[in-house]
Each structure stands twice: as structure tokens, then as C-alpha cells.
Amino acid sequence: MSQQVVTRFAPSPTGFLHIGGARTALFNWLYARGRGGKFLLRIEDTDRQRSSPEATAAILQGMAWLGLDHDGEVISQFDGAARHAEVANQLLAEGKAYKCFASQEEIAAFRDQAKTDGKSTLYRSPWRDADAATHPDAPYVIRIKAPQRGVTIIEDQVQGDVTIGNDQLDDMILLRSDGTPVYMLAVVVDDHDMGVTHVIRGDDHLNNAARQMTIYQAMGWQVPVWSHIPLIHGPDGKKLSKRHGALGAQEYQAMGYSAGGMRNYLTRLGWSHGDDEFFTDAQALDWFDLDGIGKSPARFDTKKLENLSGQHIAISGDAALRHEIQQYLAAAKQPALTDAQSAALEKAMYCLKERAKTFPNLLEKAEFALASRPIQPDQKAAKALAAVSDGILGELTPQLQNVSWTRDDLEELLNEFAEAHDTKFGKLAGPLRAALAGRAVTPSVFDMMSILGRDETMARLNDAVG
RNA sequence: GGCCCGUUCGUCUAUCGGUUAGGACGCCAGGUUUUCAACCUGGAAAGACGAGUUCGAUUCUCGUACGGGCUGCCA
């Protein structure tokens, strides 16, 4: 019996949840939730200068949109500073770490020189083996004693075994001269203390894993199962990150993509399960596994996102869509739907959801149900109305009085009417659409009529005839 | 500079030594049609390059090119 899976998402709160981070969170979520494990959230806020509560809130919001719920409280890494220092001091006491009195200026000067000489910029502290008696009374940092010979092998589930020469490892800093812990220490301690079994993160951390390994070994802790996933690139192939103007997850919400579609798209980006492209959350949870993750970076393609968003809207329940649309409106900073509009929307949903790729798209087609008389035709609709004589619409309207108000009968009536006037129904559809919705893009006129009902339909037609 | 990782149609990808290299999005052509969308039919479109291993390489190995990452008292 294997132990329970515990994964975590550990963003640093320096900006919005960018799309690459969202996918990392999603992978961790899928892996844990798909196996009855736990998915934890830890905010890496040890850099006080760059961390902000606003950013944390934005990350939480982005995750909420995508439905990535985490177990337990949100953990602040900064809160664990004392524990991190404790570990550093333990290592120091055990002789596995040491005090380094080199100043930052000193090190910077060394690096500059090494760079101009074309030599390795790896800093070798002269204090590594210094006698404590020679220690000056000055500020110091605590560095770990990294192995200098041999190799460190990262057994990565995505990248395979990655071998790094220990001569590439520096004695990284554990505790700054002000006593605060550095990320490299904090991740290891926190992942260990939180019982994290599987770490899925961006491959920008692949090299760091070797460094972190030295802490695991020094503490005698078991290393987690690592999976370093390739970063997502922009459509231009360039790195997509918050530093390079990446789009935040919430911006996609504000653009009106469905969360289900986004989950599907992000899951499929860089991960595959044979030829499956469109799948539900249940299927993703069932299928997701580490060995399906690709090794090469993927580009973000809005067209495919759009397509999947549409497919997910089409299979969503009407009430759920109504709810998600209200949230979209809020995210897009648009006025909320009134209760009446919302109810009308849900009633019309059946003929809207299979034809819309995004929510603004759906709302555009829903205009007929959301608007109230008198209908204000937009430019295109006005043009369609002008293309037909008032007479013919005026003649049609009374005929609606006694027809049975079902889709089929309406269709029959309108076709016969068109035939009687020696025209095609197609010629009539435009003006009818314009009169009923004030828009050129709408559902079928028969659907609109049956949803609107006889009275409202006739009233709108009469309005249009004038 | 040093080290690490990557490279199949425009894009996301399948293939785990032998396939006419498959699918999806997008694109093009045609069909259907009541606008948009959807749908149907067909089409163009890929193994970065060079060696090697092998009866046989997209697949294994090496090199080159290109791209990315790390090399912080950032995360």
C-alpha cells in the first residue's frame, strides 16, 4: 500500500496567476485529486519586498475561477521563518553548514572579475573550512556545505534521470545575514514538513533540484518525486511569464472563456492521453498521469482554447451556465443580469449554448431574450429591416394570431407564407430577426418566437412595422 | 563563459526500431443552411541538420544548429 499522494502549488505573490502557473497548479490538482490525495497551497512570500497581499488575492481568485480547490489553509511560507532558521542552525551545529563572512560587495567583485576572465562565476567561500577562532565579529550568512566531487542525479518523472556534476554546485546560502531564510531552504523544509510526496513545477527549477537535494541529504530526509514540466511559451515562441507580459488567468475569464474549456485546454497543453482532445473533468482526473507529460515547451493557442471553450459550453447544464455567465460579467466589469434577464437567459439557453464559443459570444446571441421593448435595432438589423417592405411584415403579423404556437407549426406557417409571396423564407428571416432581436446574429427565428411567446412576438413585429 | 533541458504538419500532439508518420485546432475548396455557430465531403501541411548503430531509424548514440533554463543575501 503506497502512501497518500500530497502535491502542492507554491506561487510567489508578485503578480497575477499567470497562465503557466495556472497549468502547474492544474497538473498538481489533477494528480492529487485523481488519486484521492491532497492538494496544498503555499504562498512563497519570503521576499518581503516583492510580495503583496493583492497578488495573493489575485492568485486565489484565479484558482477559484478554474475550480482548483486546495486542502487546508493557505500556507504562508514567511510564517515558517523560525522553523527554517532552526533547520539552518541544526545543519550549522552538525557541521554541515558554516558561517560565511564574505560581504556582498566582495562576492559581486569576484563575479565581475570571473566574468571578464571568462571563468566560472561559482563563488567558493573561503570560510567553508575556517576555524571558528578566526571568525570576525561581523554579519554573516549561513551556507550549506555542498558536495564538491561526484555527481547528483535527479530522478525526474518527466525529464528522466538528470545528472549534474557536483562541481557545478555552490555552497548556497541558507540564511541571509539578517537571519531570514532563503527560498532554497524554505521550499525544502516546507515540502518536507507538509508531507509533500510529489513536486510538479516548472522546469526552471530543474537545476535547483540538485541544490535542494543537498539539503535533503544533509537532513536525511526523503526526496519527493520530482516532475519538472516545460514552460508555456507565447504564440511567438518566446517565454511566457509574468516578466514578459504574460496574460493572467483572470484576463481569460474576463474574455469570457468557460472555465471547463480552459481546464481542458490547459490540461491538453503539454500533456496527452493518446488522441483525446476534448474531455470532461472526470475523464481528466481519471486519465492524468505523469508519464503523459511532454518534454518540450508548448505555445499558447487561443484558437484551440476558443474551440474547446465552445464545446464545454455546449455540454454544460443551463443553470450552471447562467451562474458562470454572471461571474463572467462581474469579471469583465459589466453590469449584472437582472433576475428577469437571468431567468430569460436560462430559458433560451438550449438554443444558445451549442452555438457559442465564449460568453460574450453567447450573450450577443441572447440579446433577443435580454432586451425589452421597444427593441432598438443595431446598424445591421436596421439595414435588414429596410430591405423588406413594411407591408409584408404587416401582413404576416395577423396570421400569427391563430397559429398554434409550437416551433414546428411556426416553421410551417412561415414557409407557406414565404411561398405565397413568391419568395424564400431566407429573405424573410433577416428582417424577422431584426424585428425580434434588433440584431443580425441570433438563434433561429423559430426558436426566438417560441421562447418569446405569441404576444411578445407580435408586439415586436408591430413595433418594427411602425 | 560553465552546466542542464528541449527540437514530428502553422499550433497542440500520437508513435515506445518496421505505419501510405495518425488525430485535433486552424487554414483552403465544395456541400448544407435562416444570420452566427454547427454539420458533411475533400485538400494542402511535419520527423532541425550531419554522422553512427542496425537488415531497417521519427524512434537508440554522438556531433552541429537553433530555442529555453540555471549559474542571486529572487522565487
| pLDDT per position as a tens digit, A230-288 | 988 877 766 665 443 447 899 999 999 999 999 999 999 999 999 999 999 999 999 99
* Residue A238 known to be catalytic: no
A349-399 pLDDT, tens digit per residue, is 999 999 999 999 999 999 999 999 899 999 889 888 887 777 888 899 999
C-alpha grid cell, residue A319: 443553470
What is the CA A409 to C1' B64 distance in angstroms? 73
What is the CA A270 to C1' B14 distance in angstroms? 13
Q: Which nucleotides of B are covered by protein (CB under 7 A)?
A: 1-8, 10-14, 22-26, 33-38, 67-75
Residue A233 confidence (pLDDT)? 80
Residue A38 confidence (pLDDT)? 97
The percent of residues in chain A predicted with pLDDT above 90, rounded, is 79
Strand B reaches within 7 A of the A46 CB:
yes
Residue A281 confidence (pLDDT)? 96
Residue A390 confidence (pLDDT)? 72
> Would you call A259 exposed, middle or buried from its count of C-beta atoms within 10 A (0-12, 13-18, 19+)?
buried
What is the CA A269 to C1' B21 distance in angstroms? 21
Angle at A463 between CA A440 and CA A393, to 5 degrees: 70
Does residue A123 register a pLDDT over 80?
Answer: yes
Q: For nucleotide B15, give the residue with the nearest CA to its C1'.
A: A274
CA distance linking residue A167 with residue A129, whole number of Å:
17
Question: How remote is the C-alpha of A234 from its chain's centroid?
Answer: 14
> Would you call A59 exposed, middle or buried from its count of C-beta atoms within 10 A (0-12, 13-18, 19+)?
buried
Residue A291 confidence (pLDDT)? 94
Q: Which residue has the higher pLDDT, A48 or A210?
A: A210
> Which pTM does this prediction carry?
0.94
Residue A239 confidence (pLDDT)? 67
For the packed helices A339-348 and A318-331, what is the interaxial angle rounded to 10 degrees?
Answer: 130
